[in-house]
Structure 1
């Protein structure tokens, strides 16, 4: 019941978007959230755990949240540590421990308060509880006060574009680009290094091997001059022929198999198009795992290649390209960064949220946490969502709810990565080793206790 209550509190807006899918998602996630508690009960019972029960529960929960980040049917929106997105200055230490550290802090505070409520409430216990609440916030304020707004002297001019196209629009891709053209003044008021368009702004029949021969590509190349920019990053639905593809269409009377990718295209004055493929998908809507292929549900069934790069190198600076739902996954972002990354560039489409604004606000708050975790500024384009830019402290520097086509011209200070991305590879082995250590310590204590009982039983006094 507590799991269901938590799910409803955080993501009730899903039912406002799609009632039956929303209810199904809430029930499935509530079931999944029972798994770490069940594993803990089994661990304590069959591992004969007498010492470290509370620590074991904490470790099982964090292990569950970690694994929930890396499997292909995750809804990481519900990670407990995401609740601080509205008050990111409380958790500046996410740059060292990440969102899972926030989950651990909340669970420890809850256990401390629970133990205090059950105990004798001594002065020492009350002081410990208050320290557990206050010290992490104090550390955050110290980090905030001493943290530089940027750790590189390089600055870049970036334009993020917001569009208000809906699923019922009859505009083709060239007509959409023509609508965006009207946002750019001539003569220019802003010369951009990079212009970012929303996710899947290009959604017609685009084939990877033929795109450079299309009128749309020629139009985008011309817009480098019209928009006074050196590079355009545009979201696209990209088709690639593949013998074992998930999609088929008929060509000259014969079936052609292909895979479809949700991608970001980097277009500039060269003849080379860099492509970044989306790798973290909204469950069911965008990706259906093979073990659920029997479900007859509507899904884009996107594909992705694991060796496809997530960073674009632009004018000797590296930018991590984040496509919509990928930003919700803390582990994905941190584990796919490298030491050269200097900013996060996001492409999103939020028409999925429909008329509810709660989901959009939560999404923005979660995205701000990625800035703190990785010590990088973030610039987010959007279709029918919230357009914003944020610095490496998670401060919103510019924001606009997209009601009609608009843009934000921003000057950003590039930064260097925090410690967190170095920690991520060690989270899983660290959790497993610690649980194994608890098991071994309790086994040792159990053996020692048995020997002691045997000695007492066989002693002359006992006799």
Structure 2
């Protein structure tokens, strides 16, 4: 393997990392893939090509998300980075094949299609890991991507790919024809237009103004409980509850509408859903809420559901000694002073930590999920309520639990039924003081833009904050510090084009991907269906 190609492979991975949140060099994303385009054109040996492409994505994954291995089982992070780099290589292998059979412009279009299809699949299957969706590169620059309300992150992915392809072709033509600087400047208008037009559109795109009469006061509690040494230790649940109540009472008053506690704040050892009203934690919370009669509390909780004979039994269900079946859930619950408790079950689960992918086909793997405290093994995915309703204030909250906030289309889908306020509850302390929790916060800004909703974000160890519909962050709390703060958010009605219509960019890419695959299959049996025919 020639050194220049290897250096280019490593360079591409490093540029991707330098342009990724929370590094400050975002514009580099527009040239990050150009070394790969050169490698795709020059390297003919398939195995060498695969090694170079895989090397690029391995560098990017390790440099940007090495922290996934910052747990009690570091090998899980090694596997995650390698596996994701392998999956990212597949669209580029398909592109290499398209270069041999299709005209160059069509092959470049195929690359965009293949990558968008990969990202779409990577958000919908059980090995999902959409952390490094190319459209997330602009999380630090919300002013550049106000147009995401029309396309979602897939529009950003398309933007990145188009810019890289056009810049590479300007460089290639300049090198091939020995252009002068004046000639290069005449050629550069195409990539400049592709990069500049979305920026101009963004400058003239903004959310509709909030209704001042709809302002809603929330109190967000960041208890800063160590998830490894304290959170799930036996006998500590009531002590943790005492801390949460104490912090809440410092800020909550008669004007408070929502009190927000983080992921798994309640019942760290699990509680049966049919017995929640009788849990001492719930009774203590209701005593507190009587002093704030207009308030509702939204909290993370570890809950368990016992199935009866008429229930559909999912593949994640476990069996008690008496033969009855039950499931464990990473849940969010809404409590008020009545006996009504609304329960939402987290659906987008972290592969390996909360979910053994495709456990219904591999039932013997049920107990393999990493033990991050509390209940080990795969969590259930049976849906609970879709929204937390508050008829008195005409507020419908979509409670988003941790990893779910990385899924663009999933969140948009749950806005559509009528959610006018987003609450993200999370526990980012598992990966320590790394880029993990900082990237997670920044991605929430994109979700605010796509849906044009206010977000109240509550994190166990930080960073808790509120985010407005333009992606601006307010009152971010220091990481790994106990905190409580009061903020105003505004429930908003009306859906963005993206929420109404879904991810049209990815759906179109999926259709074209199928057509390219059909063409590739047919061309193996029809010799005439080759490059020359397509050129005609």
| TM-score band, normalised by shorter chain | 0.7 to 0.9
Counterpart in the other structure of 1:247: 318
Using the alignment, how far apart are the partners of 2:76 and 2:258 within structure 1? Answer: 38
Counterpart in the other structure of 2:388: 312
Counterpart in the other structure of 1:460: none
Counterpart in the other structure of 1:461: none
Question: How far apart are residue 225 of structure 1 and its match?
Answer: 2.4
- Equivalent position to 2:261, from 175, 197, 201: 197
The 3-state SS of whatever aligns with 2:350 is coil
Gaps of 5+ in 1: 454-463
User: Is it true that 1:29 corresponds to 2:107 in the alignment?
Assistant: no
Counterpart in the other structure of 1:278: 346
The structure whose RCO (Cα within 8 Å, separation 6+) is larger is 1
Question: How far apart are residue 302 of structure 1 and its match?
Answer: 0.4
Counterpart in the other structure of 1:334: 412
CA-to-partner distance for each residue in 1:308-333, whole Å, 9 max, x for gaps?
A: 33311213221211011100111111
Question: How far apart are residue 95 of structure 1 and its match?
Answer: 0.7
CA RMSD after TM alignment: 3.0
- 1:62-77 correspondence to structure 2 within 5 Å: 62-77=116-131
Using the alignment, how far apart are the partners of 2:98 and 2:448 within structure 1? Answer: 36
Distance 1:446 1:177, change over 3 A: same
- 1:178-327 correspondence to structure 2 within 5 Å: 178-185=242-249, 191-202=255-266, 203-226=268-291, 230-242=295-307, 244=313, 246-250=317-321, 254-289=322-357, 290=359, 291=361, 296-298=368-370, 299-306=376-383, 308-314=384-390, 315-327=393-405
- Equivalent position to 2:196, from 122, 128, 134: 134
Question: How far apart are residue 175 of structure 1 and its match?
Answer: 2.4
Using the alignment, how far apart are the partners of 1:211 and 1:409 within structure 2? Answer: 28
Give the alignment's TM-score, normalised by structure 1.
0.87
CA-to-partner distance for each residue in 1:52-98, whole Å, 9 max, x for gaps?
A: 11111101100110111111111111111111111111111111111
The 3-state SS of whatever aligns with 2:290 is helix
Distance 1:136 1:425, change over 3 A: closer
Indicate conservation of the 8 Å contact 1:152/1:414, yes or no.
no
Counterpart in the other structure of 2:93: 38
CA-to-partner distance for each residue in 1:9-47, whole Å, 9 max, x for gaps?
A: 3212223445311111110101111122233445565x7
User: Is it true that 1:154 corresponds to 2:214 in the alignment?
Assistant: yes
The 3-state SS of whatever aligns with 1:194 is strand
The 3-state SS of whatever aligns with 1:265 is strand
Distance 1:256 1:142, change over 3 A: same
CA-to-partner distance for each residue in 1:163-216, whole Å, 9 max, x for gaps?
A: 111232245333222112222447965631111111111123300111212222
Counterpart in the other structure of 1:175: 239
Give the alignment's TM-score, normalised by structure 2.
0.76
Distance 1:49 1:115, change over 3 A: closer
Count of residue correspondences: 445
Indicate conservation of the 8 Å contact 1:327/1:370, yes or no.
yes
Distance 1:16 1:168, change over 3 A: closer
Indicate conservation of the 8 Å contact 1:392/1:415, yes or no.
no
Indicate conservation of the 8 Å contact 2:103/2:531, yes or no.
no
User: Is it true that 1:82 corresponds to 2:136 in the alignment?
Assistant: yes
Using the alignment, how far apart are the partners of 1:98 and 1:7 within structure 2? Answer: 22
Indicate conservation of the 8 Å contact 2:463/2:478, yes or no.
yes
User: Is it true that 1:163 corresponds to 2:218 in the alignment?
Assistant: no
Using the alignment, how far apart are the partners of 1:450 and 1:81 within structure 2? Answer: 35
